[in-house]
Chain A
Amino acid sequence: MRKAIYYAAVAVLAVVVMLAILAPWVAPYDPNAQDLLGRLQPYSAEHWFGTDEYGRDQLSRLIFGARVSLLAAVEVVAVSFLIGVPAGVLAGFFPGLVDGALSRVSDALMSVPSLVLALTIVAVLGQGLVSAMFAVGIVFSPRFFRVARGSTYEVRQETFIEASFAIGCSWWRVAWRHVLPNAMSPLVVQMAVVLGAAITAEASLSFLGIGVQPPTASWGGMLASAYSNLFEAAYLIWAPGVAIAATVLAFTIIGDEARVVLGTRQPVGA
């Protein structure tokens, strides 16, 4: 059963990724082509998921929106990973002052509601998807920090770390070559979880209008426009809503499976 759910999640994600990559070829219409005479149409053979307030094809926008969502999610993970992991390894490696300082910063970041901090950072960096996702990346970095710190601290106690010092490795080489590869598996799990969370974050920011700028299609933006036409065309809310939910769920399930498969790191030997 668990496996079946996992395969379903992989299938969903594979479809989303394929659609995102092949968007220009598989989308039936130009996502930004307006047809003001055919506004807010219900589902039909020509427009599977109907049309929005400007008569744009919902299906095409959904497909192009997948690109935005996935790219945004990858950006968030990249930013938070690159900030969180080195800081976490450092903190785990040098308990005491370094750990204390970095952990306090991380705690402070975690105590701030993520969207509020993202809004503030967007206000400073300016609107746009890239800066918005950069902001979310910063907000999410404590998640990687904490995991990296914990597993570094654990791996640090192993004899082979002592052994690598004894062959003349410098501390950063020990951290990079010997600690990090052994601390990777929980980070991989965390990556999957953050990818899902990032898609929600992107949708939320775009919904609020500070993420992707119109007319570019995004799931959050589609949700926003469907929401504003809720009383005339309630059916429009389904496509982006289900897309977001399904993708986030798929990432979470895959993360869960990764956790089971990778397990907690088993120390070798006696």
Chain B
Amino acid sequence: MQSDTLLQVRGLAVEFQIGGQWTRVVNDAWLSLARGETLGLVGESGSGKSITSMAVLGLVSELGGRVASGSVRFDGEEVVGAKQGVLRRLRGQRIGMIFQQPRRSLNPAFTVGDHIAETIRRHSRVSRAEAWKRAVSLLDRVGIPRAAERASDYPHLFSGGMCQRVMIAMAISCEPKLLIADEPTTALDVTVQAKVLELLRELVRESGMAMLFISHDLTVVSEVTQRVAVMYAGQTVEVGTTRQIFSQPLHPYTKALLASIPGAGRQQRLKVIDGSIPPPTRMIPGCRFNPRCDCRLSDQCQSRPVELVEMPDERSVRCLRADLAVAS
């Protein structure tokens, strides 16, 4: 069981300096990901999804933040506090990452082939020519037509979807065990989005790598993931299989999220969650969702922090009233 676990994030807290004060942006994040599994990480903007993924790569300090507590174990090794050399071997080689804005994630001064060849040459001793050859075959693999020619084109000649394919080629160039996809399709239009998702699913199936799929688009998440973790205000609030989360959500926030998915042909007004996510500079005591929750208890929910607790069927939830949901 233990060796099946590829990634385990426990009680992670990350701080950034906001107005001179170290402020917790991620407070109590828990994730675990088995080999070959695709986990969806969902939540609103600012809920700490991306920061959590950066912590997995050990990139928090590069972004000017620090890990305050908690642990991130990847493939049996601790990432928090690991040496730079160890982290550099992790990044790109064992963990690949793709970003939200593909066109901004490519360096305009290099050809797309250079990008991929650089990643390969960072992590394995191969000649320039060999790296280029591999880059071309990777571009071909991710569905770029005339890959050999296009490898020497610059990113501005590519559309957003094509840039994302290039990013994917970069990310999988060293056959990583984990692919982190940080809102990979948010900046793309719907048809392109579907194609990129299909490509990702195909790659995951073929290579057996695990994928951490970060998104706020629940429809997309339901299509590609096996398990889902929901984050709210820097905390993991619910974890379960995709089926469990979508058919029987336990946390009121998850329920509210699901209720606010727009459906085609639906005539009634779209449900929204009243209020907004509290800013990290002004954290509320007690359950962080309580001001927006319609089943809060006036004292317990507002007085002390709520822990993430294990529930039957290998799921967990951070809610004192989860029993309500189970009963119904």
Which A residues touch B90, using CB under 8 A? 168
Which B residues touch A267, using CB under 8 A? 104, 108
A268 and B155 contacting across the interface, CB-CB below 8 Å:
yes
B91 and A166 contacting across the interface, CB-CB below 8 Å:
yes
A269 and B122 contacting across the interface, CB-CB below 8 Å:
no
Q: Looking at chain B, what size class is its interface with the partner chain? A: 35 or more
* Number of A-B residue pairs with CB-CB distance less than 8 Å in the complex they form: 83
Among A159, A168, A177, A182, the residue within 8 A (CB) of B91 is A168
CA distance A33 to B102 in the complex (A): 67
CA distance A165 to B105 in the complex (A): 11
Indicate whether B59 reaches chain A with its CB closer than 8 angstroms. Answer: yes
- Chain A proximity of B123: nearest CB distance (Å): 6
Indicate whether A238 reaches chain B with its CB closer than 8 angstroms. Answer: no
A160 and B105 contacting across the interface, CB-CB below 8 Å:
yes
- Chain B proximity of A91: nearest CB distance (Å): 15
CA distance A175 to B273 in the complex (A): 43
A165 and B104 contacting across the interface, CB-CB below 8 Å:
no
Interface size on A, residues (CB 8 A): 21
CA distance A170 to B106 in the complex (A): 17
B170 and A270 contacting across the interface, CB-CB below 8 Å:
no
Interface residues of B in 66-104 (CB under 8 A from A): 84, 88-93, 96-97, 99-104
Can you name the residue of chain B whose Cβ is closest to the Cβ of A181? Answer: B109
Can you name the residue of chain B whose Cβ is closest to the Cβ of A173? Answer: B122
- Chain A proximity of B171: nearest CB distance (Å): 8
A167 and B104 contacting across the interface, CB-CB below 8 Å:
no
B105 and A167 contacting across the interface, CB-CB below 8 Å:
no
CA distance A169 to B170 in the complex (A): 13
CA distance A215 to B167 in the complex (A): 63
CA distance A29 to B109 in the complex (A): 49
Indicate whether B135 reaches chain A with its CB closer than 8 angstroms. Answer: no
Contacts A162-B63, A168-B88; A182 near B122 (Cβ below 8 A)? no
B101 and A269 contacting across the interface, CB-CB below 8 Å:
yes
Indicate whether A158 reaches chain B with its CB closer than 8 angstroms. Answer: yes
- Chain B proximity of A5: nearest CB distance (Å): 30
CA distance A182 to B109 in the complex (A): 6
Which B residues touch A32, using CB under 8 A? none
- Chain B proximity of A61: nearest CB distance (Å): 45
Which A residues touch B122, using CB under 8 A? 167-169
Q: What does the 1/0 interface line of A140-180 toward B look like (CB < 8 Å)?
A: 00000000000000000011101111111111000001100
- Chain A proximity of B112: nearest CB distance (Å): 12
A182 and B88 contacting across the interface, CB-CB below 8 Å:
no
CA distance A237 to B266 in the complex (A): 88
A160 and B106 contacting across the interface, CB-CB below 8 Å:
yes
Q: What does the 1/0 interface line of B236-280 toward A look like (CB < 8 Å)?
A: 000000000000000000000000000000000000000000000
Contacts A168-B91, A168-B122, A268-B155; A163 near B106 (Cβ below 8 A)? yes
Contacts A159-B99, A268-B156, A269-B160; A166 near B108 (Cβ below 8 A)? no
Can you name the residue of chain B whose Cβ is closest to the Cβ of A164? Answer: B107
Interface residues of B in 158-174 (CB under 8 A from A): 160, 163, 167, 170
CA distance A270 to B99 in the complex (A): 13
Among A165, A166, A182, A270, the residue within 8 A (CB) of B107 is A182
Q: Which of A163, A169, A267: most chain B Cβ within 10 A?
A: A163
Q: What does the 1/0 interface line of A175-191 toward B look like (CB < 8 Å)?
A: 00110011000000000
A163 and B97 contacting across the interface, CB-CB below 8 Å:
yes
Can you name the residue of chain A whose Cβ is closest to the Cβ of B187? Answer: A270
CA distance A171 to B61 in the complex (A): 12
Indicate whether B307 reaches chain A with its CB closer than 8 angstroms. Answer: no
CA distance A23 to B163 in the complex (A): 53
CA distance A22 to B318 in the complex (A): 82
Indicate whether B225 reaches chain A with its CB closer than 8 angstroms. Answer: no
A168 and B123 contacting across the interface, CB-CB below 8 Å:
yes
Contacts A178-B107, A182-B109; A162 near B91 (Cβ below 8 A)? no
CA distance A170 to B90 in the complex (A): 12
Among B59, B93, B96, B102, the residue within 8 A (CB) of A162 is B59
Which B residues touch A165, using CB under 8 A? 57, 59, 62, 91
B119 and A159 contacting across the interface, CB-CB below 8 Å:
no
Contacts A158-B104, A269-B160; A167 near B109 (Cβ below 8 A)? no
CA distance A64 to B285 in the complex (A): 80
Among B59, B84, B89, B160, the residue within 8 A (CB) of A270 is B160
Which A residues touch B109, using CB under 8 A? 178, 181-182
CA distance A137 to B160 in the complex (A): 44
A166 and B103 contacting across the interface, CB-CB below 8 Å:
no
Indicate whether B118 reaches chain A with its CB closer than 8 angstroms. Answer: yes
B103 and A270 contacting across the interface, CB-CB below 8 Å:
yes
Can you name the residue of chain A whose Cβ is closest to the Cβ of B53? Answer: A166
Which A residues touch B92, using CB under 8 A? 166-168
Q: Which of B59, B105, B156, B187: most chain A Cβ within 10 A?
A: B105
26 A-B pairs whose Cβ atoms sit less than 8 Å apart in the complex: A158-B104, A159-B101, A162-B59, A163-B106, A163-B170, A165-B59, A165-B62, A166-B91, A166-B92, A167-B91, A167-B122, A168-B88, A168-B89, A168-B93, A168-B119, A168-B123, A169-B88, A177-B118, A182-B107, A268-B104, A268-B106, A268-B156, A269-B101, A269-B103, A269-B163, A270-B101
Q: What would 16 more interface pairs be, CB under 8 Å, given A168-B89, A268-B106, A269-B103?
A: A159-B104, A160-B105, A163-B99, A163-B170, A167-B91, A167-B96, A167-B97, A167-B122, A168-B91, A168-B123, A170-B88, A181-B109, A267-B108, A269-B102, A270-B103, A270-B104
